Chain A
Amino acid sequence: MKIIVPTLAKDVTEATITLWLVKEGDVVAVGQDIVEMATDKATFTMPSPGAGTLKKIERPEGETVKVGETIGELS
């Protein structure tokens, strides 16, 4: 299952990954906080879209990502 940057606001097209709260190989539950991103004057903590193991972090901390972009993958 892909971890995709959600829509944070109607007029937001990108965000910056500020903190991964889990690392590759970690087992995560659905709804568990997994990654934090920042836009404008806000941070947003994203819950896991599913249960599984974090197979790959595709976009590390500090990178700017677009809404709808895949930033990681669960197996």
Chain B
Amino acid sequence: MEFIDCGRLSYDEGDRLQREYLQKRISGIIPDTVLMLEHEPVVTVGRLGSAESILSSGALKEREIDVLSVDRGGDATYHAPGQLVVYPIVDLKGIGQDIHLYLSRLEHCLAGLFLDFGLVTGTMHGKRGAWIGGKKIASIGIAVKKWIAYHGVSINVDLDLKPFSYIKMCGDSNSQATSMSVELGRSITVSEVKPRAALVFDDLMCGKMEVP
């Protein structure tokens, strides 16, 4: 599994890069590859979202935050610098073409990563992602083509959480977001989290560590 640090990109640039790697992985010319990046501020709405996923388009417009429809699963989410986005481009044939098993592995990766920083997270009432104290600290949304998974997870490291209140996260207007910075009570950077995320994802996705 290879890890590529893509830095900070607009959503379109990141998406173009992701699709380039997806096509290469489908063609079999690269191994499983994980892209790590930060997006410029944007709201993306997955296939299970709708116009109702946006609670305050005026506030988003005021902050010049675009709303884009994307081909991943799930509802609306917010991306911005200070959030680590991880896009594993992974062949699911290696885990028996089981989409739910893969989603669970991503959740275990998130839980393992947060535990490294002393944060105990979990899922909440069957809602995917990573939650702590009833608030969402990381989101999951993937797409699968030719049994290659793309899109992935976004980890709130240290960012302004206000724009999350302008959208209906997970289709629930009562869902609230938090960040590692808020939960740890100190400032923390994406650069600090990135190498730990690479280790945890490599261990769990490559079977170097037993998945609970």
Contact = CB atoms under 8 A, between A and B. Distances in A.
Contact of A45 (B74, B103, B145): B145
Interface string A11-49: 110001011000000000000010010111111110100
A41 B141 contact: yes
Contact of A42 (B73, B96, B97): B73
Dominant SS at the B interface? mixed
Contact of B145 (A7, A33, A40): A33
A40 B143 CA distance: 11
Interface in B130-163: 140-146, 149
Contacts of A45: 143-146
Interface in A33-67: 33, 36, 38-45, 47
Nearest to B126: A40
A41 B103 contact: yes
Contact of A18 (B47, B97, B101, B141): B47
Contact of A40 (B97, B100, B146, B149): B100
Interface residues of A, number: 20
Contacts of A39: 73, 99-100
B47 A41 contact: no
B71 A44 contact: no
A28 to B, nearest CB: 15
B99 A8 contact: yes
A32 B46 CA distance: 23
Chain A interface mostly helix, strand, loop or mixed?
strand
Contacts of A16: 48
A11 B103 CA distance: 12
Contact of A9 (B72, B99, B143): B99
Pick from A11, A19, A38, A40 the residue with the most CB of B within 10 Å. Answer: A40
Nearest to B75: A41
Contacts of A40: 73, 99-100, 103, 128
Contacts of B48: 16, 18, 38
B99 A44 contact: yes
Contact of B143 (A10, A11, A43, A47): A43
Interface in B52-100: 71-74, 96-100
Contacts of B72: 41-43
20 contacts: A8-B97, A8-B98, A10-B100, A10-B101, A12-B100, A16-B48, A36-B47, A38-B73, A40-B128, A41-B129, A41-B140, A41-B141, A42-B103, A42-B141, A42-B142, A42-B143, A43-B143, A43-B144, A44-B144, A45-B143
| Smallest CB-CB A-B distances: 7 pairs | A9-B100, A42-B73, A41-B73, A18-B47, A41-B74, A45-B145, A43-B143
